[in-house]
Chain A
Amino acid sequence: DTGVSQDPRHKITKRGQNVTFRCDPISEHNRLYWYRQTLGQGPEFLTYFQNEAQLEKSRLLSDRFSAERPKGSFSTLEIQRTEQGDSAMYLCASSNDEVQYFGPGTRLLVL
């Protein structure tokens, strides 16, 4: 069991560019979650998949954000037309029951 992995670990981009992050959950975990954490705050929920179905999206997930989990395994989170306010740590978690396990996160800086 290799744990949840995320790629890239760090991303620096210019305002207006598009970025895409990848999350590979623990194998056979059917639930996958995305969270966002800004400095000094706790993580906040963005969206959640059960297998390939996206079951819930937070109001934080503006129309510039899109997430997919096409085959019910890995997931991608894309941010279009990035803004400086998108700078944060993006965390992915997976679970097979109530317990969620988190990946190392992708730290995004928008200049």
Chain B
Amino acid sequence: GIQVEQSPPDLILQEGANSTLRCNFSDSVNNLQWFHQNPWGQLINLFYIPSGTKQNGRLSATTVATERYSLLYISSSQTTDSGVYFCAVAQGAQKLVFGQGTRLTINP
């Protein structure tokens, strides 16, 4: 089955810093979603981005489908950005395969 690798596994930054999270996947996909999991466990949708670039406020994402990777950028980090970020992919409107996540800690 398809494999998803996220890096780095952990990232600790000061408030105001910028960060880049990476997601590599092993096969072609037509669904790629980025999520933020809050401390209560809720998965919050950030982007649906099987290809191309999208921006939403301080967050943006780019997926290069031909090279099988996606990047999530967080600019001017805030403490509320802390949590675990997951990349998940699918082939068709079927099951999502998740990476192991990147745990982001933003210190004040």
List chain A positions with a Cβ less than 8 A from chain B.
31, 33, 35, 37, 41-45, 48, 56, 58, 89, 91, 93, 95, 97-102, 104-105, 107
Contact A98 B98 (CB under 8 A): no
| Most chain A Cβ neighbours within 10 Å, of B41, B43, B101 | B43
B48: contacting residue among A43, A48, A98, A104, CB under 8 A: A98
The answer to the question of B20 belonging to the interface, with a C-beta cut-off of 8 Å to chain A, is: no
Question: B41's contact among A93, A100, A104, by CB below 8 Å, is which?
Answer: A104
- Chain A residues lying within 8 Å of B95, measured Cβ to Cβ, are 33, 45, 48, 56, 58
B78-103 Cβ-contact flags toward A at 8 Å (1 or 0): 00000000101010011111111100
Please list the residues of chain B having a beta carbon within 8 angstroms of any beta carbon in chain A.
4, 30-31, 33, 35, 40-43, 45, 48, 50, 86, 88, 90, 93-101
Q: Is the Cβ of A104 less than 8 Å from the Cβ of B40?
A: yes
Q: Are A42 and B93 in contact (CB under 8 A)?
A: no
State A107–B48 Cα separation when bound (angstroms). Answer: 26
Q: Would you call B93 and A43 a contact (CB within 8 A)? A: no
A102 touches B42 (CB 8 A): yes
Between A and B, 5 residue pairs with Cβ closer than 8 Å are: A43-B96, A45-B95, A48-B95, A99-B33, A104-B42
Distance in angstroms from A104 CB to nearest chain B CB is 5
* Complex: A99 Cα to B45 Cα, angstroms: 9
Is there an interface contact between A105 and B41, defined as CB atoms closer than 8 Å?
yes
- Overall SS of chain A's interface: strand
Cβ-neighbour of A98 out of B31, B42, B99, B101 (below 8 A): B31
CB-contact partner of B42 in A45, A95, A99, A105, under 8 A: A105
Inter-subunit contact A44/B94 (CB<8 Å) = no
- Asked if B98 contacts A44 (CB within 8 A), the reply is yes
Find the B residue at minimum CB distance from A96.
B93
Taking CB atoms, residues of chain A closer than 8 Å to B33 are 99-100
Tell which of A44, A45, A58, A95 touches B93, judged by Cβ atoms closer than 8 Å: A95
